[in-house]
Amino acid sequence: MAGADKGVVAKAQAGRGTVEKGVLLLPVAVALVAGVLVPLVVIVVASLQDGGGAYRETFSSSLFRAALGRTWWMAVIITLGDVLIGTFYALAAASARRGLQALLLGALMFSMWTSVMVRSFGWMLLELPKGALYWLAHTFFGRSEPIELYQTVGGMYPAMFAMMLPFIVLPVLAATRNVDADQLKAARTFGASTWLTLRTVTLPAIRPAIVSAGVLVFVMSLGFYVTPLLLGGPSNLTVSGVINLEMRSANRPDLGASMSVILTTATVVVYLVSDRFFRVSEKWG
Amino acid sequence: MTALRESLGKSGWAVRLAAGLAAFILFAVPALVLVATSWTEQRFALFPPKGFTLEWFGEVLTSKKWLQPFGRSATVAAIGTALAVILGVAAAIGVSRLRSSRAARAWRTVMILPLAVPPIALGVGLYNMGRWLNLSDGRMALLILGQMISALPFVFVLVAGAITRLDPNLHKAAQTLGANSWLIIRKVELPLLGPTILAAAVFAFVVIFDEVVLAVFLLPPGVETLPVTMLRASQETMTPALTAASTVVSLLAVLLLGGSQMVGRGKKGGADAP
């Protein structure tokens, strides 16, 4: 009888649990459908309104093709560069004494807390033809020609490296806690070189964090808008910039939609595939 | 970590020096240059600043041109934050209740998905939605929806992380004592998650306050949030008023976020103390 009671209680609890889960998860499900799924379906429908003509036009547009290549390479280079800088930055912060650690993390957090646009303004003031870099070069190296960096492809890169760096450093720093101190000591005792220890003990422990952080940085770089717009200028648009142009100046919402579909497909597929293989969403955060 | 420090051996100092340089060049220099140009006596923001004046701060803090968009941004961000926190916290608790690990994993994937959707594509989608639904006044609602979605992954990740660090025995103990699920959420989980929820709320507020891409697409002409005003101003000329406004907003964000972290630390420290 006690067993039967238990069964009833368990069932009642399970029933209540389902209601509870429903109440907790249904609102967010509705919000995600209304705020992500529906808008994405809407752009797919908008892009197909003339039977695929928008896609043909998109792919034959040299403006779009140039932007696609520029965006792709920017995302690849920013990701690889930041994975390299960010891993060492995290190792430095993890191995530093308290003062330097506070400095490294403080600079990173302050920067991350400031808006992307404001940070881009900072880079603009550095890169303007007669900006801070010119002042530096003029004062110390006697340069008198203006700096040609603002509104060039090269002008986007330093700022993009800085914007994305925290997204590598923070997850990798959190993962350095998984590095086994005993293994590190053992490696030292047996005389393994710094490089060998790094490769065989430290790196395997932080690799999942590096991969998932890298995937997110890659995906976010593909869709980045403000920094490339402000620093790359109108002749070096990324895909987001071209979409903005089609929507707002060229008055071609169909092309804006088809380009948005292409860009979103790329980012979402990269995210979902790497999530499947590397469990990005579990390692992140 | 000392073991990690020792494992880097003699190359350790080079790694730390390089990181310090990277922090200085990538993070500190652009911020310092921006702040310095906000006190120049010139009419254009240019480094190095000439002279020293607080005129531009005065202009930003008194003129309607800056204050009105600031107020609008604060209102929109407050509403969006409230929604993102309610939905994000509920989702994090809900996912922690799922028995099937596959379902929990799928939910995590979906909750972080908005980060992978390019803001411009979301903006185009919501803009078209507004046109098709003939929502002329409802555009603001779509903006709040979209901005809330952009902050949701951060709230979820922070709170879900804190839930996994809670002592699972608390839940069982409360259950044994006859507390139902809602009572457990209200009396056990929410109080323990308080500092994390506060930190997540502040982060969400700052993310939404700074959001500009969706705002550019969804705000009706003539109505601007602060980032839209700043973006438009930057495309005319870089004025010291613009860099002063940037300085003020950044300072507010740093104070808010730094303050919320301190509160979190303080509370946690108190709980750990025997």
3-state secondary structure chain B: CHHHHHHHHHHHHHHHHHHHHHHHHHHHHHHHHHHHHCCCCCCCCCCCCCCCCCHHHHHHHHCHHHHHHHHHHHHHHHHHHHHHHHHHHHHHHHHHHCCCHHHHHHHHHHHHHHHHCCHHHHHHHHHHHHHHCCCCCCHHHHHHHHHHHHHHHHHHHHHHHHHHCCCHHHHHHHHHCCCCHHHHHHHHHHHHHHHHHHHHHHHHHHHHHHCCHHHHHHCCCCCCCHHHHHHHHHHHCCCHHHHHHHHHHHHHHHHHHHHHHHHHHHHHHHHHCC
**Residue B205 pLDDT more than 70?**
yes
Contact A124 B234 (CB under 8 A): yes
Show the domain range for A218.
52-283
Q: Is B161 on the interface with A (CB under 8 A)?
A: yes
Same domain assignment for residues A102 and A31: no
Contact B127 A247 (CB under 8 A): yes
- Amino acid letter for position B240: P
**Residue B263 pLDDT more than 80?**
no
Chain A CA closest to residue B204: A113
The alpha carbon of residue B117 is apart from the nearest alpha carbon of chain A, in Å, by 6
The reported pLDDT for the residue numbered A82 is 96
- pLDDT above 70 coverage of chain A, percent: 93
Among candidate residues A25, A47, A69, the one where a domain is terminated = A47
pLDDT band, residue B272 (cuts 50/70/90): very low
Contact B246 A42 (CB under 8 A): no
Among candidate residues A27, A47, A67, the one where a domain is terminated = A47
Q: Can you tell me the mean pLDDT for B85-113? A: 93
Please report the number of interchain residue pairs, chain A to chain B, with beta-carbon separation below 8 angstroms: 315
Mutating which of B10, B25, B32, B34 best tests the A interface, going by the most A Cβ atoms within 10 A? B34
Chain A residues in contact with B2 by the CB 8 A cut-off are 181
Chain B residues in contact with A233 by the CB 8 A cut-off are none
pLDDT band, residue B265 (cuts 50/70/90): low
Same domain assignment for residues A262 and A151: yes
The reported pLDDT for the residue numbered A10 is 53
Contact A117 B210 (CB under 8 A): yes
**Residue B113 pLDDT more than 60?**
yes
Q: Name all domains of chain B by residue range, CATH numbers in brackets.
A: 55-272 (1.10.3720.10)
Residues 38-67 of B with CB under 8 A from A: 45-48
Mutating which of B15, B27, B39, B234 best tests the A interface, going by the most A Cβ atoms within 10 A? B27
The reported pLDDT for the residue numbered B189 is 87
Residues 98-127 of B with CB under 8 A from A: 98, 105, 107-122, 124-127
Contact B31 A285 (CB under 8 A): no
**Which position has the higher pLDDT, B134 or A29?**
A29
Which among B2, B15, B242 has CB closest to A88? B15
Same domain assignment for residues A41 and A66: no
The alpha carbon of residue A49 is apart from the nearest alpha carbon of chain B, in Å, by 13
Same domain assignment for residues A194 and A102: yes
Same domain assignment for residues A222 and A243: yes
Contact B231 A226 (CB under 8 A): yes
**Residue A284 pLDDT more than 70?**
no
Q: Is B21 on the interface with A (CB under 8 A)?
A: no
Q: What is the mean pLDDT of chain A?
A: 88
CA–CA dist B243, A151 (Å, integer): 19
Q: Is A38 on the interface with B (CB under 8 A)?
A: yes
Same domain assignment for residues A56 and A42: no
Quick check: helix, strand or coil at residue A79?
A: helix
The reported pLDDT for the residue numbered A267 is 95
Our CA dihedral for B157, B111, A221, A118, rounded to 10 degrees, sits at -60
pLDDT band, residue A17 (cuts 50/70/90): low
The reported pLDDT for the residue numbered A138 is 84
**Residue A3 pLDDT more than 60?**
no
Q: Can you tell me the mean pLDDT for B101-105? A: 90
- pLDDT above 90 coverage of chain B, percent: 47
Contact B121 A35 (CB under 8 A): no
Q: Can you tell me the mean pLDDT for B162-185? A: 84
Could you tell me the CATH number of the domain that includes residue A242? Answer: 1.10.3720.10
Contact B7 A188 (CB under 8 A): yes
Contact A253 B37 (CB under 8 A): no
The reported pLDDT for the residue numbered B24 is 93
Composition of chain A by helix, strand, coil, percent to 5: 85, 0, 15
Same domain assignment for residues A135 and A187: yes
Q: Can you tell me the mean pLDDT for B159-184? A: 85
Same domain assignment for residues A137 and A5: no
Distance of CA B119 to the CA centre of its chain: 15
Same domain assignment for residues A250 and A167: yes
Q: Is A217 on the interface with B (CB under 8 A)?
A: no
**Residue B79 pLDDT more than 50?**
yes
The reported pLDDT for the residue numbered B268 is 45
Same domain assignment for residues A17 and A67: no
Contact B213 A284 (CB under 8 A): no
Same domain assignment for residues A19 and A70: no
Chain B residues in contact with A109 by the CB 8 A cut-off are 257-258
pLDDT in tens, B26-35: 999 999 999 8
**Residue A283 pLDDT more than 90?**
no
pLDDT in tens, B239-258: 888 889 999 999 998 898 88
Domain count, chain A: 2
**Residue B266 pLDDT more than 50?**
yes
Q: Can you tell me the mean pLDDT for A188-195? A: 82
Which among B119, B122, B181 has CB closest to A16? B181
Contact B128 A124 (CB under 8 A): no
Q: Is A209 on the interface with B (CB under 8 A)?
A: no
Chain A residues in contact with B112 by the CB 8 A cut-off are 280-281, 284-285
Q: What ipTM goes with this model?
A: 0.88
- pLDDT above 70 coverage of chain B, percent: 95
Same domain assignment for residues A80 and A216: yes
pLDDT in tens, A39-60: 999 999 999 988 888 899 999 9
The reported pLDDT for the residue numbered A141 is 87
Q: What is the mean pLDDT of chain B?
A: 87
Residues 52-111 of A with CB under 8 A from B: 85, 88-89, 91-96, 100, 103-104, 107-111
**Residue A91 pLDDT more than 90?**
yes
**Residue A210 pLDDT more than 90?**
yes
Q: Is B6 on the interface with A (CB under 8 A)?
A: yes
pLDDT band, residue B68 (cuts 50/70/90): very high
Q: Is B158 on the interface with A (CB under 8 A)?
A: yes
The alpha carbon of residue B274 is apart from the nearest alpha carbon of chain A, in Å, by 24
Q: Can you tell me the mean pLDDT for A115-136? A: 89
Among candidate residues A47, A68, A84, the one where a domain is terminated = A47
